[in-house]
Each structure stands twice: as C-alpha cells, then as structure tokens.
Amino acid sequence: MPDRMKNPPPDKLKIEAFAKINLFLEVLGKRPDGYHDIYTVMQEISLADEIELSPSDEISLDCDDARIPSDSRNLIWRAAEALRAEAGIGRGVAVSLHKRIPHGAGLGGGSSDAAAAIIGLNRLWRLDWRIERLLPVAARVGSDVPFFLYGGTCVCEGRGERVTPIDAGEPLWFVLVSPPFAVSTAEIYSRVDSDLTNEPVRCNVKEIAVFGSSGAARVAGMLFNRLEAVACRAEPGIVVVIDALRKGGALGAMMTGSGSSVFGVCEDSRHARKVASLVEGMGVGQVNVVQSRPRRACCRAGDSIGEN
C-alpha cells in the first residue's frame, strides 16, 4: 500500500474510535499485580466516537459529554503523554471528542479513544512508527488499548494486552442495548474470584477463526462471559435486558465485558432491524443496530499506522 505518512500532516485530523463487544470472555485467575488473566475474543463494531486532532503547543481536550473527564484522567490525554514521552518530543495536540459510545457499558469506549489518538498522533506528529513500536505504548495506557490498534476480531490474553488478530470471514449483525445504568469494572472483577472454582471454559480458536462464515446461529451458540453472572447479581437490570433481546428474537444474547451493555446476535441486517424495533418498544435502554468491523489493513506486522 502507498506510504501516506510521507505526505504532509493535515491541519486537522478526524478519526472514528469504534466500540467492541466480547464474544467470549473467560477469567483465568488473579495475578500478583492485582489484575486478572483473561482469555477473550473481542469484536470491533460500527458504533463509534468521533475525535478531531489539531496541532498545538500543549495537550488539551474538549468533550461534549460533561461526565467524561477532560484532563489527565482521560485515556486520550494519557495516550498523548505516553506517545510524546516515548518519542522524546515536546509537541502537543488539541483534541475534540464527540461521545457516542456509552460510558461504563463494557464497550471499551475510553480504550478505543486512546488507540485512535495514538493512531492519529502517529501521523500528526510525523512519527511513522510501525505497530510493533506503538503496541508497548498502548499497553501502558490501558489493557484494551492494544486491541483497538488492530480492530476487527482478535483473541486477547493476559490483561488483554496480548493480541492475536483473526480473519473472521463475513460480517455479523448485532442489536446492542445499553441500559440507563453503568457498572464498575473494578467491582465486578473483585467479585468474580469466588466463581473461579471450576476448570476454565475453553474456546476453540480454530472455530473462532471461521465463525463469520459459519453462520450467526453458530456464533450465538459459542457465546460465553464469565463476568455475566457476577454482574447480573450486582445489577439485576442486566437480566431484564438479556431477556428483552431473547424475547425480541435474537439468536443469542449476552452481556459484553463487565457490563452493562448487552448484545444480541442476528441473522442479517433485516433481522437486526426487526429485533431492534421490538426491543425499543420494551424501553430497556439505548438500542443500536451494529455490524462487525474488519481489521485495519494498515495494522499488519511491519506496516506503519496512519489514519483509521
């Protein structure tokens, strides 16, 4: 592919930061550092925040959602600081963030925003770094950030920072429901240890690698999330959302991440729209019809990362 990084950087750069769902999530145990080892299949989906980056002498962040911090607590800010420190440069960036991904919903919005910022700043600051050099920076910012450098479908291990991309075949359609409440990731993980008494559930990677071409029904049959039962005990409203999707005709429904969002697997776009219409009438939360996204073409080994 042509090296677009040799072109002059733009005055402004707009990037979409896509959400994710977990099609499979097993918690393997607690680590000495306080985190948990996980084995998960993450799928990037079409719901996205919008980020605009502009050259500046300092780092600044403006967000249209007052609930989102606009200072060094935000992962975008931390990503910019981490990349600037790694590159040994003194440049800044003015960031404008338009939030569409619900906060505290298990959709990885903050991590995706950080990854999008790294991708954009790699171009804006003329670094032209390859993904191998950006991955350690992303991992320092947050556990899920490395996944979002790749996008598409990936197996993620460790804290989530060890990423193996998968070619998943044909696109999948989902109905995503985000209820009007959030859950604490830290709280859910703190409660999961008592559930880790049995042998871990294993996922067949070879089956995952072809799930997109093997039919939505097969995907629905593979869904698993160790955190779901824990989150449902903490917040029974999640059970209501799962039941709504099943009653609405989804092939299968499951919470994503540590919650609170739930997704339903659908046969195609028409089926997804029908399910979404029925679920909207139940008033259980914000409903979106979303599609799976492929891996970024620029994120193969040895390639430099430019724009989304």
pLDDT in tens for each of the 308 residues of the chain?
A: 333 344 555 688 999 999 999 999 999 988 898 889 999 999 999 999 999 999 999 999 999 999 999 999 999 999 999 999 999 999 999 999 999 999 889 999 999 999 999 999 999 999 999 999 999 999 999 999 999 999 999 999 999 999 999 887 788 999 999 999 999 999 999 889 877 766 788 776 656 655 655 679 888 988 999 999 999 999 999 999 999 999 999 999 999 999 999 999 999 999 999 999 999 999 999 999 999 999 876 554 444 455 44
Name which of 127, 151, 119 is nearest 306 in CA terms.
119
Neighbours of 307 (CB within 10 A): 18
Instruction: Say if CB 40 and CB 143 are below 8 A apart.
Output: no
Is 14 an annotated catalytic residue? no
Q: Is 13 helix (H, G, I), strand (E, B) or coil?
A: strand
Which of 11, 37, 144, 274 is catalytic? The answer is: 144
pTM: 0.91
Give the DSSP H/E element, type plus range, for residue 177. Answer: strand 173-178
Collapse the DSSP code of 243 into the 3-class scheme (helix H, G, I; strand E, B; otherwise coil) and give the result. Answer: helix
Cα–Cα distance measured from residue 120 to residue 33, given in angstroms and rounded to the nearest whole number = 31
| Residue 113 DSSP SS3 | helix
C-alpha to C-alpha distance for 279 and 283, rounded to whole angstroms: 7
How do strand 224-225 and strand 286-291 relate by DSSP bridges? Answer: unpaired
Which residues share a beta bridge with 151? 295
| Top CATH class, 173-291 | alpha beta
- The active-site residue, picked from 3, 12, 20, 128, is 20
Query: Cα–Cα–Cα angle for 107, 307, 128, nearest 5°?
Result: 120
- Listed by start position, the domains of the chain span 4-166, 173-291
Fold for the domain defined by 4-166: Ribosomal Protein S5; domain 2 (3.30.230)
Q: Burial-class residue 32 by CB neighbours within 10 Å (0-12, 13-18, 19+).
A: exposed
Q: Is 99 among the catalytic positions? A: no
How many other β-carbons are positioned within 10 Å of the β-carbon of residue 254?
A: 21
Angstrom CA distances, 194 to 30, 225, 226, 230, 237, stand at 11, 15, 11, 10, 22
CB 235 within 8 A of CB 82: no
